[in-house]
Structure 1
């Protein structure tokens, strides 16, 4: 039984988001190393911060992928309120 107003065929692009995060992780790591070797600590710190954000995003995406398509939140998460279909 559906309790929300989301479409029944909705899909999340988690695998695409994972590969984009992997691409970003490669570039952020290379940028951090490259700027550190070039003596640009500000840019190295910026790329390091980006690397940290991308890593956290990748961990969240992997967690959601492992939960599977049938993941249901626990009892402490209330369901969406059903749409109001009042006829005038």
Structure 2
């Protein structure tokens, strides 16, 4: 049910995703380098593939952050009526 205050009180988790991506980049690069150095190419490839996924996610998160806020209905838009309960 919508109360009408969502555009005012809504918060995005993009900053949290940004920091989780940064943490993921650190660990996947560390894992890739470590597994290459100890001679486990399969695990190094798995870490490198995960690093690619994290970098794609990081790129998308930064793109969304740079886009800024999107349209939100103003105060003149009334809240949705709650659905009627069936009898």
Structure 1 ranges of 4+ moved more than 4 A: 82-88
Residues 47-87 of structure 1: per-residue CA shift (max 9 Å, x gap):
00110000000000000000012x25xxxxxxxxx878579
CA RMSD of aligned residues (A): 2.2
- TM-score, normalised to structure 2, is 0.72
**How far has the Cα of 1:43 moved from its partner?**
0.4
Equivalence map 1:6-85=2 (5 Å): 7-8=6-7, 9-69=9-69, 71-72=70-71
Distance in 1, Cα, partners of 2:56 & 2:81: 35
Distance in 2, Cα, partners of 1:19 & 1:51: 15
Structure of greater Rg: 2
Q: Which has the higher helix share?
A: 2
Number of aligned pairs? 74
Residues 3-32 of structure 1: per-residue CA shift (max 9 Å, x gap):
xx6932222111111011000000000100
- TM-score, normalised to structure 1, is 0.71
Specify every segment of 5 or more residues in structure 1 that has no aligned partner in the other structure, as ranges. Answer: 73-81
